[in-house]
Structure 1
Amino acid sequence: MESKIPLSPVKNIPMSYASCSIGCKSSHTLPQKLEAISDAGFTGIELSFPDILDYGSRMYGHQIACDNFAELTTVAGEIRKLCKANNLQVMMLQPFSNFEGWKRGSKDQENAWFRANGWMEIMRVVGTDLLQVGSSDSPPEKLSGRREDIIQDLRDLADKLAQNKFRIAYENWCWSTHAPTWKDVWEIVKEVDRPNVGLCLDTFQTAGSEWGDPTTSSGLIESIPRDELEKRWKASMDELARSIPPEKIYLLQISDAYKPVTPIENKEINGLRPRGRWSHDFRPLPYDGGYLPIEDVTRAVLKTGFRGWFSMEVFDGGPEGKGKDYEMSDYAAKAQDSMQRLIQSSAPR
């Protein structure tokens, strides 16, 4: 009988917090966010690009354009000092999106590379080696439609990042044009076949693509019977647990989802698909009003043997997605408690 290596204990899992995931007022500044995150016992952050823009605009006294990388790299240097003062590691820069699969030689492809080079410089200055790349949600008609182009683009980006010993954490967005599920991004990562390309898995994105649906009254995918949905979901989590090597998982992002009080309209609005709107405004902390089977996802990831970064990434607009008022220090402390509870409740027995 084949012996099985015991899984490492979960008590030493490092915990991070996405900077975009805290603060409910425009007056909440990045220094205030970092202080609350640090005081709650988190040791790392996902540094969100909008927070760089906001902090830089306050620092310079004028709005900074998202492509003004000369000013943004200066801002990044100041943010690095802030993080060090709060004993926080910049675990990852996020969210880099709509990079892969553009039509060859298009202006969109040229702009994607311009952005990539600018973000790499920010990574260097802020002191992180990890770039989150979200699976593209660009309109299909603007993309080449060729899988080999997606693979080649990610290989080229990986090779460029490798020059600085940087890595890609590729994430499935549940409204993505070409890779909405964990298995979609895992198949792509395998084809890309670069040592510095791995996965950013996410409890919301995983359950939100295969189990939940914000456009239905039940909040579930209703195109198949409930018992079949549950059967497929369990099989998917079993497959995740046995098929992904732990070293190819770079982090697990944590959040739940509210079932919208009124189902989200099943059409694209302002360029954003229903699950995208769900993602932006309806994602609470674990055990705080959500309904997705996030313990199933967490347990499957832990069963792979992964014991790396768990990172809180919530967008908590309340059950109606219209906003929620809270004190940041209290919310960060609550996030720490819910993260600990999720880890303990999901630990493989």
Structure 2
Amino acid sequence: MSMHSLPTPPSEAVSRWMPAIATVSLGAAHLHSLTAKIEAAVRSGQKGLELFHDDLAHFAKTQRCHTCDEAPARTDRDYEIDAAHAIRDLCAERGLRILALQPFRHYEGLIDPDQHAQRIDELKHWVQLSKILGDDLFILIPSSFLDPSEITGDRDRLVADLAQAADVAFPIRIAYEALAWGTYVNTWEDCWDIVRRANRPNLGICLDTFNIAARVWADPTSATGRLPADADAQLQASMDRLVQEVELDRVMMVQLADGERVDPQTPFLHAEGMHKLLAWSRNARLFPCEEERGGYLPIREVADACLNGLGYTGWVSMEVFSRTTGEDKPSVPGEHAERAARSWQRILQQLDMKVEKAAICKSCH
């Protein structure tokens, strides 16, 4: 085991969770090869991989360059299908399981019926890719953040669209996730309501610590980096509801990430036409427990609710977007994989302490 490999979990309780990482957390698709990311993930002890479509598409483009003179009539989708076979083999040879293909963006609520039809057609392609990539993976649909002129917030329509996606994908699973900057769906509560009402056996929810904390608690453009003091109570109340209301068998994955405390005047926070939380997310996520890098969100409280509170077992993935992943140097995948491994150790220790404390309190009564 290398210095940065993942340790044996410190207790039986936390052995319920298996570590994974999103390919986007290991570097930019156009700068860092998927092969390098896979190798870095394996070296750091990861067991699962969330595959970003950008990485698959770039891998396919690379493969296409080698064969473009041989088969000029083939389409981008044909090459993506070839890439899916190759990626599955690469991961299988290294004992790495592909868990998800994502993000299938801007799907639900489209006002233009032709655009909706195009997304359904693209979803069918993703389903084909998913059947190749793994035996039990899901497609992740993040809540849309298109302009209100392009999408409706009508809840019945959103429910119908997610139900249709699940029906089209079946038996491939669909996970719906609330982005903190979503136009109409930006909390786990809204997301869960839609999943619950759509009521499809292959439709579930993805819980992300960054998106939950960013929406309820954070304000990166304020002097304090957070919303007013009652945000603590608001977050706690939300986590209490999550534990009480979310059905465990509908949770398809828990994703972990923190947010970096940045200067409120940082230029990227004020990009024209971009929601401040989106700009912050793309540039300044961190791995959990990286306080030394400026991490400050109440991630432990959110992770504790999603993992211990719900009694969740299964894959826990690091999903970090950052300006550091866009650095043009070959060391990026390895550096980020090592950071993820250290963060996994830290979060396990934090959660294990909570498990032990709860057990002691229970025994006292």
Question: TM-score, normalised to structure 1's length?
Answer: 0.88
**Paired residues for 1:168-179 under 5 Å:** 168-179=174-185
Aligned CA distance change for structure 1 residues 266 and 106 (closer, same or farther; 3 Å): farther
For 1:292, give the aligned amino acid.
L
Alpha-carbon distance between aligned partners in 2 of 1:93 and 1:264, rounded to the nearest angstrom: 32
Alpha-carbon distance between aligned partners in 1 of 2:167 and 2:117, rounded to the nearest angstrom: 17
**Corresponding position: 1:293 with 2:301:** no
Alpha-carbon distance between aligned partners in 1 of 2:37 and 2:110, rounded to the nearest angstrom: 36
- 2:240 corresponds to: 238
- Return the structure number with greater helix share: 2
Q: Tell me, yes or no, if the aligned pair for 1:283 and 1:314 is still in contact at 8 Å.
A: yes
Give, in angstroms, the shift of residue 129 of structure 1. Answer: 3.0
Give, in angstroms, the shift of residue 270 of structure 1. Answer: 6.1
Deviation string 1:292-339 (CA, Å, 9 cap, x unpaired) is: 010011000121110111001112326xx9859654334312311211
Among candidates 32, 54, 63, match of residue 58 of structure 2: 54
Structure 2, unpaired ranges of 5+? 1-10, 69-74, 359-365
- 1:121 corresponds to: 128
Which piece of structure 1 moves more, 199-208 or 210-219?
Answer: 210-219
Aligned with 2:259: secondary structure? Answer: coil
Aligned CA distance change for structure 1 residues 297 and 58 (closer, same or farther; 3 Å): same
Aligned with 1:238: secondary structure? Answer: helix
Alpha-carbon distance between aligned partners in 2 of 1:8 and 1:183, rounded to the nearest angstrom: 31
For 1:285, give the aligned amino acid.
F
Q: Tell me, yes or no, if the aligned pair for 2:269 and 2:279 is still in contact at 8 Å.
A: no
Aligned with 1:142: secondary structure? Answer: coil
Give, in angstroms, the shift of residue 121 of structure 1. Answer: 1.2
Alpha-carbon distance between aligned partners in 1 of 2:272 and 2:161, rounded to the nearest angstrom: 27
What's the Cα RMSD here? 2.5
- 1:182 corresponds to: 188
Alpha-carbon distance between aligned partners in 2 of 1:119 and 1:174, rounded to the nearest angstrom: 25
Q: Tell me, yes or no, if the aligned pair for 1:101 and 1:153 is still in contact at 8 Å.
A: yes
Q: Tell me, yes or no, if the aligned pair for 1:45 and 1:88 is still in contact at 8 Å.
A: yes
Alpha-carbon distance between aligned partners in 2 of 1:124 and 1:322, rounded to the nearest angstrom: 30
Aligned CA distance change for structure 1 residues 8 and 161 (closer, same or farther; 3 Å): farther
Q: Percent identity among equivalent residues?
A: 31
- 1:14 corresponds to: 18
**Corresponding position: 1:130 with 2:138:** yes
Alpha-carbon distance between aligned partners in 2 of 1:8 and 1:202, rounded to the nearest angstrom: 24
Relative contact order higher in (CA < 8 Å, ≥ 6 apart): 2
Among candidates 28, 32, 38, match of residue 32 of structure 2: 28
For 1:209, give the aligned amino acid.
R
Give, in angstroms, the shift of residue 272 of structure 1. Answer: 3.0
Alpha-carbon distance between aligned partners in 2 of 1:309 and 1:263, rounded to the nearest angstrom: 37
Give, in angstroms, the shift of residue 344 of structure 1. Answer: 2.8
- 2:318 corresponds to: 312
For 1:238, give the aligned amino acid.
D
Alpha-carbon distance between aligned partners in 1 of 2:332 and 2:277, rounded to the nearest angstrom: 28
Deviation string 1:130-182 (CA, Å, 9 cap, x unpaired) is: 010101111111113321111001111111212xx211111010000111111
Deviation string 1:187-219 (CA, Å, 9 cap, x unpaired) is: 111111112111110010000010011222211
Question: TM-score, normalised to structure 2's length?
Answer: 0.84
For 2:235, give the aligned amino acid.
W
Alpha-carbon distance between aligned partners in 2 of 1:175 and 1:9, rounded to the nearest angstrom: 34
Aligned CA distance change for structure 1 residues 272 and 121 (closer, same or farther; 3 Å): farther
Give, in angstroms, the shift of residue 114 of structure 1. Answer: 1.9
Aligned CA distance change for structure 1 residues 305 and 33 (closer, same or farther; 3 Å): same
- 1:72 corresponds to: 80
Aligned with 1:200: secondary structure? Answer: strand
Alpha-carbon distance between aligned partners in 2 of 1:281 and 1:152, rounded to the nearest angstrom: 33
